[in-house]
Amino acid sequence: MIAIRAARPGDGPALHAMVEALADSHGHLDSFEASPEDYERALFEDHPVISALIAETDGQAAGCAIWNRSYSTFRGRQVMYLQDISVLPAFRRRGVARALLKAIAGLAVEKSFAAVDWLVMDWNEAGRRLYESVGAEIEGGNCFCRLNGPAMERLAR
Amino acid sequence: MIAIRAARPGDGPALHAMVEALADSHGHLDSFEASPEDYERALFEDHPVISALIAETDGQAAGCAIWNRSYSTFRGRQVMYLQDISVLPAFRRRGVARALLKAIAGLAVEKSFAAVDWLVMDWNEAGRRLYESVGAEIEGGNCFCRLNGPAMERLAR
């Protein structure tokens, strides 16, 4: 049995463990700098930028989906942007990610978002298969650009 | 002379023309559905999801940058997500996009964002060269996933 609920105060450490597992699976543990307190603050401050769902199996936190409000300038409507979907290694291959996507879709319908957007790496075949199976359209050929703090400060001068 | 200012009420039609020019350049006019009123509402409602900068040359709107707050779960900090940067065809190749990026970087520093993130298509060589020249790190191999309204409703059921 998989149960999905909204994240609540105190979930910071569980979310931290789950995003860390995701960073590990993607070979990016070296760039994982967040603390449990960062999530606690980001989720429960005034006008929080992110929200999260937690998937539990037998009362244990097994996975999460972290999202924020975004906007499609082509559609002229708000969309949901899915930052991360993560399942702890011990709970993988049991339908947890699919259950999270279903709950995310339900939330997006409830909030009248026009769509749910996210990114997947092109080498992540299992992820792409899952996303296609739930009805997502996938467009390759995108590059992710990031202007990091120091470059941002140099350019701003 | 290029002057950059925050968008203000009444800029909806100018923004609409600029995003439409971007959709045209990308061969996506068929999926451009937004109206000037959509932008007017999205920018100036309570707790707006997007914000915009307008670039003017000789008092004429020449380009824009549209952004929203986002979050890096790996960094544990808020980041700026740049939805669009667009310059009207008549004003291209005059440094308008670079001036907008510089102003975006200044705003991101002012607001203590950890980074500025955006996407570029891998065929957009002029865009990629510009972004690299201002200090952006570019990572290829990303696929953009979208669960559209009808697919969202089917999955939610």
pLDDT of residue B132: 98
pLDDT of residue A78: 98
The arithmetic mean of pLDDT across residues A127-155, rounded, is 97
Q: Which two tokens stand for residue B27?
A: 């061969």
What is the C-alpha to C-alpha distance for residues A134 and A37, in angstroms, rounded to an integer?
33
Find the CB nearest A102 among B34, B143, B156.
Answer: B156
Q: Which of residues 95-134 of B touch A (CB under 8 A)?
A: 101-102, 105-106, 108-109, 113-123, 128, 131, 134
pLDDT of residue B100: 98
- Backbone φ and ψ for B135, nearest 5 degrees, come out as 105, 10
* CA distance readout (Å), B108 to A123, B35, B101: 32, 28, 10
What is the C-alpha to C-alpha distance for residues A63 and A97, in angstroms, rounded to an integer?
7
Instruction: Please report residues of B whose CB lies closer than 8 A to that of A121.
Output: 141-143
ipTM at complex level: 0.96
* Nearest-Cα residue of chain B relative to residue A108: B152
pLDDT of residue B42: 97
Mutation site, A66, A155, A157, interface B, largest B CB count within 10 A: A155
Mutation site, A102, A144, A154, A157, interface B, largest B CB count within 10 A: A144
pLDDT of residue B131: 98
What is the C-alpha to C-alpha distance for residues B71 and B73, in angstroms, rounded to an integer?
6
Cα–chain center distance at A98: 13
Enter the pTM of the model. 0.96
pLDDT-derived band at A66 (thresholds 50, 70, 90) equals very high
pLDDT of residue B15: 98
pLDDT of residue B127: 96
pLDDT-derived band at A24 (thresholds 50, 70, 90) equals very high
Q: Which of B91, B4, B11 is nearest to B50 (CA)?
A: B11
pLDDT-derived band at A82 (thresholds 50, 70, 90) equals very high
List the pLDDT tens digit at each of the 157 positions of chain B: 999 999 999 999 999 999 999 999 999 999 999 999 999 999 999 999 999 999 999 999 999 999 999 999 999 999 999 999 999 999 999 999 999 999 999 999 999 999 999 999 999 999 999 999 999 999 999 999 999 999 999 999 9
